[in-house]
Structures are given as C-alpha cells and as structure tokens.
Chain A
Amino acid sequence: MDEVRPGYAGGVRVGLGLAFPTFLLGVTFGATAREIGWGSVAPIVASIVVFSGSAQFALLTALAGGGGLPTAVASAALINARFAPMGVAVAPSLKGNRLRRAAEGQAVVDGSFVAAHVGGGVFDRERMISATAVQFVAWVAGTVVGVLLAPPEELTRALGLDVVFPGFFFLLLLDEIRQSRRAAAAAGLGAAIAGGLAFVAPAGLALLGSSVAALIGLHDSGPHEEREQS
C-alpha cells in the first residue's frame, strides 16, 4: 500500500481501493443471474446473505449447468473452504466472547484479510472490519445495478476492466512478498500449485491448494527472517 494506516481509517482506504473492482464484479453477477432466470430479487438476496463472489458464481454456474443442488452447494462450499484457515488465523486478533468473535469472523474476505495482516500472523481487527464493510456496500450495489441494467460482459472486457480485480490482488501480493524471502517463496509455490490445479480442477480447489504453500512456515528459521526487508 502507498501508506499503511492502522485501524478503521486504514480499512476504509483499502476498502475504497477494492470497491470499484468489487462493484464491477457485482454488476457481472447480477447481470448473469438475471439472464439465466434467477429473477431480480434472488441475486440481490444472494449478495447480501452469501457475500462471496467466487461462491456465488460457483453456485450460479453449477445450477445453470444442470449439476443439481448438492453439486452446486458443494462447489460453492469448496471455494469458500479457504475461509476456515483464514478464520483460524484472525481468531486471536478478534475481541469479545466466542459468539462475538464468530460474528466478527464474518468480516474475513480475501482483500480485507490480506490488508489487515500486519506481519507475523497478527491482524488489525478494525482495519479488516471497515475494509469489508466498504466492499459489502460495493458488492450489493453492483449486484443491484447488474440486475437492473444488465450490461454485456463484452463491454467490460473491451474497456480492459477485467484487469482491475487481479491487478489489485497483484499489488497486494507485491506488498506481501516484500516482507520476507519466505513470503516470496510461499507466493511462488502457491502460484505454481494453483496454476497446475487450475487446468485440471475447479477454481475453488486450485485456490485452496495454493494455501498449502504456507506450510513452509512450519520450518522455524528464527525471528531474524520475519519482515527482514520491511
């Protein structure tokens, strides 16, 4: 990030950076769901109660492809399985009793999780919550616009806007790999695993597979390694 601000203000800043690509993805989801017969209300409700682009697209694709309800739900669950280890990761940084922590854990989404990581497995709780709140508004607003206007996907591609989402994740990745050599190694291995799996397995499994690369952190190389380049 250009400037790392702690707390809610920093989270809002991160959230605003992610809001535009999130909005665009929401537009795509709303338009696609409307086009394949979900109507106007179901896509919007899905974006509010699920709030996960990858899982919602998996559900949409599997149901449209005639995969049946169990297959569709399993695909979406597999994609969101990455939230389980992410929830474990943020748990010590949350506040309150178990119920409140479980509620605060709902703020775990990809961009916020990464932006809230301040190093050494410690997370900025306020930063994560506010970044997610901004993205939630953008995601639901995008879905509403997509349902109402249904712009063609070709227009988004022609304008190069499909670069925005992976481009922003790439920027976050650059910040992470500057932290230590081990983070760079984990990123390289994660990319290789995901790249290999993406050709033979669903996207959710490829994503889950990339997180296996973090297991190189089991090797304890001592405190000097952490954030050595920061």
Chain B
Amino acid sequence: MHLLEVENLTKRFGGLTAVNNVSFHIDEGEIVGLIGPNGAGKTTLFHLITGFLKADSGTMKFKGENILGLAPHKIVNKGIARTFQVVRPFRHLPAIANVLVALKSPRGSRKIEWIKTPERKALDLLEDVGLSEMMMEPAEILAHGDLKRLEIARALATEPDLLLLDEPFAGLNPIETDLLTKSLRTIHLDGHTMVIVEHKLRALMKIAKRVLVLHYGEKIAEGSPEEISKNKKVIEVYMGKVS
C-alpha cells in the first residue's frame, strides 16, 4: 500500500485550472522532489493534500484512508505535516512556544515517550534543527533562515509520517543550504517520508530519489533526478521552447 495515493486530482479557480488531473503516489521512506516553473501548481497541490483547499475532483488516500474533504487540522493529526513557502511563524511567541503549539495538538501530545515533558520535547526538536540557542527569542526577531528551520521543527513536532516541505531552501545562503541538506538527511533517516517542492534544483537533486515535474497544473514527467535532468520536455519547460 502506498503511503499517499493521489488520483486524478483537479482544482479549478474560476477559469483557471491550477491542478489538472494529477496522479501520483508516495511510498514510505521516500524523498520525492516536486518541481516545475512558477505557477505550475506545486503549492496548490500541497494545499490540496493538506486540506487547505478542497479539490474539485479526484481522490486522495493516505495510508489507505480517504482524506479528501477533511479539515486541515484533522489531516495533520492523521500524520501529514507541512511547511509553507513563505514562512508563517507565530510572531508574538518565542521559538520554543512556536513548537509547543504543535505539541498541543492531539497527535503532538501523544505520549510516545512519556518521560519527556512537552518543554523537553520542544527543546529537543529545536536542537535537531540547530535553534536551541534561540529558544526564548520571540519569533519576530529571528532571521529568515532560522524561521525556516523553526517551521520544520514545528512540523516535526506532530510526528508526521509524511512531511511536505515547500521551498525549504528558498532564501538560504550556501552555508545554510548545506546545513539544511544535512538536517533533512537526518530527518529522513529518523523515518520521515518527505515531499519537497524546490526551485533550487541542485540542492534538491542531491537528496531526492524521485522527482515529479508539474507544468500548468499537469504532471509532465516522473523519474529519478538523472532521468529528469535529461528529459526533453522538462528542459523545454524550464528553458523555454527553442523555436
């Protein structure tokens, strides 16, 4: 059984079809990349999977269960967590409190390791992403790169089976990119399945084992990073048609 199974998913906004009949599946333990030019529908797809938007047609199954039409917080509690393309921290709360919010959700407060208090768990998560020094800083003064990592820590707090990352490398300098790649590898080894939307293809190709390509809402290619980088259609789409 696939971890996530999406079939014929379609979403229209008035006259515009943002996601057009997209089908794919994600298996446990994979790191899958999702790429495509701007406006291809990648973030819309994330919104659909996580329940922030309701699909017009198609099916979505997570661990065999139908999740189409579920409210976003319910989907999180089923095991899918996400980060946002533009970070959305809780500005008035300190970093550790940001994580504590997620730990207050039903899934986040499950007593898996019941020796730990939520504060301890939050601190551990911050350590995992390298933010333990900033734990008491209000989110509004953190730098962009820190906020991205904070959001990942927050997503991890709900112990997701599937982690959707929306442009995690955006706005990071090379050092930060390197650090994040390492963190992501560790997160993967911890047993999290990931789907990553990215524009920084070099960074993505280093960690993704399989790549899906979207263009104008349609899936136009699927395969390993090598296959994709050689795919004529994909090159056309990114470089523009050579007429």
State whether these chains interact: no
A residues sitting closer than 8 Å to B (CB atoms) are none
B residues sitting closer than 8 Å to A (CB atoms) are none
